[in-house]
Amino acid sequence: MKVLSVVGARPQFVKLAPIHKALVAKGHQHVIVHTGQHYDPDMSDIFFTDLGIPQPTQNLHVGSGSHGAQTATMLTGLEASFLEHKPDWVLVYGDTNSTLAAAIAAVKIHQPLAHLEAGLRSFNRRMPEEHNRILTDHASDLLLAPTEVAMNHLRHEGLAERTVVVGDVMTDVCFQTRDKVATQPPEMPNNWISDTPYVVATIHRQENTDDKQRLTEIIQYLSASTTPVRLLAHPRLKAKAQEFGVALQHGSVSVFDPLAYPQLVSAVMHSHGVVTDSGGLQKEAFLLGVPCITVRTETEWTETIDLGWNTLIPECDQPIDTVFSEQREVSAAHPYGTGNAAQRAVEELEKWHLQHG
């Protein structure tokens, strides 16, 4: 079986790693097409190196742009790529503009399409990711859902027959990396002091970064923490803070560049807690047993809230230290699987291909 994976943004490289391993273990051919949506070395290359993923077969180098322009450039490049490689499957990941472009390009040329991490919903139609994931789910032939909650969303949308719950591949990679860094601690950035308490923070979503007042409010919230906050600044955050004249390095906040994946896992494991608007990081905090504050009005990963490890604080009105000092029970539940999701996903791709290929 020949599988063509389309990736473009940081979280997709993380999800790609266990899938690549599982495909190779079963002797399948794996073509990796990078759209170039993320292009800074610390947002892209470093993930390939650290997570043992081979260099992409092709990079479309689309770079940044408005949603429409970026997606359209990808669509054109991906159509040509699919026609050239003629894979048995196009596999898309998550909810970025790269995901949607690949989904549209694939269905238009009747190319079998599978969506990994299908069925997530925030029910917030202002989020670009929400359109991307809904449109991609409805275009796909096979929907690989990470959780029962995701399965239920797809059932309500009439997509149950095309869906299987395989677990979450982020669990696979997070647990593998956690075990690895326990014996081989990664080298941390120069001014990273490991033996004092700290909070890890990331803010990158358009709704939090692209409005001056909102961004100022979030930085004030972080800076008021008693525990020092290490803000891992996404390029969008840096660019917007500069444009608005908002100082990120303020009060308790120290600014760091984005971390490599093993560094991030190690940083979270040893932290007091995480403050973020990232979907992936909320779940990584949960998987690593660290409390999380999510600076959004809703989350796709509702299990982290139900189990008491994640708190939505969109108004930035509950002190970080108070939230993190609450006692939490370690849960025996595994809503995101136990670490074999990639293998399950590959089995489902094989099964469908045997029946329909």
d(CA 62, CA 247) in angstroms, rounded, equals 30
d(CA 186, CA 86) in angstroms, rounded, equals 39
Contact 69, 98 (CB under 8 A): no
Residues in the chain: 357
Nearer to ligand UD1, 73 or 97 (CB): 97
Q: Give all strands (DSSP E) within the chain, no chain letters.
A: 2-7, 29-34, 58-59, 89-93, 113-116, 142-145, 163-165, 199-202, 229-232, 253-256, 273-276, 292-294, 310-312
Could you give the residue numbers annotated as active site? 204
Locate 42 and state its tokens.
Answer: 């610390």
Nearer to ligand UD1, 99 or 225 (CB): 99
d(CA 24, CA 30) in angstroms, rounded, equals 7
Q: How far is the CB of 149 from ligand UD1 (least distance, A)?
A: 19
DSSP annotation string for 130-169: HHHHHHHHHH-SEEEESSHHHHHHHHHTT-GGGEEE---H
User: Sheet containing 89-93: which strands, arranged edge to edge?
Assistant: 58-59, 29-34, 2-7, 89-93, 113-116, 142-145, 163-165
d(CA 157, CA 137) in angstroms, rounded, equals 10
Q: How far is the CB of 7 from ligand UD1 (least distance, A)?
A: 11
Q: How far is the CB of 127 from ligand UD1 (least distance, A)?
A: 8
**Nearest-CA neighbor of 333 among 297, 269, 287?**
287
d(CA 267, CA 283) in angstroms, rounded, equals 15
Give every CB contact of residue 100 below 8 A, 6+ residues apart in sequence. Answer: 71, 131, 132, 135, 136
Do strands 229-232 and 199-202 pair parallel, antiparallel, or not at all (unpaired)? Answer: parallel
Nearer to ligand UD1, 11 or 337 (CB): 11
Nearer to ligand UD1, 64 or 338 (CB): 64
Please report, as ranges, the residues that interact with ligand UD1 according to CB under 6 A. Answer: 9-11, 37-40, 43, 64, 95-97, 128-129, 204, 234-236, 239
Q: How far is the CB of 93 from ligand UD1 (least distance, A)?
A: 11
Q: How far is the CB of 100 from ligand UD1 (least distance, A)?
A: 8
Nearer to ligand UD1, 96 or 122 (CB): 96
Q: How far is the CB of 29 from ligand UD1 (least distance, A)?
A: 27
Nearer to ligand UD1, 128 or 308 (CB): 128
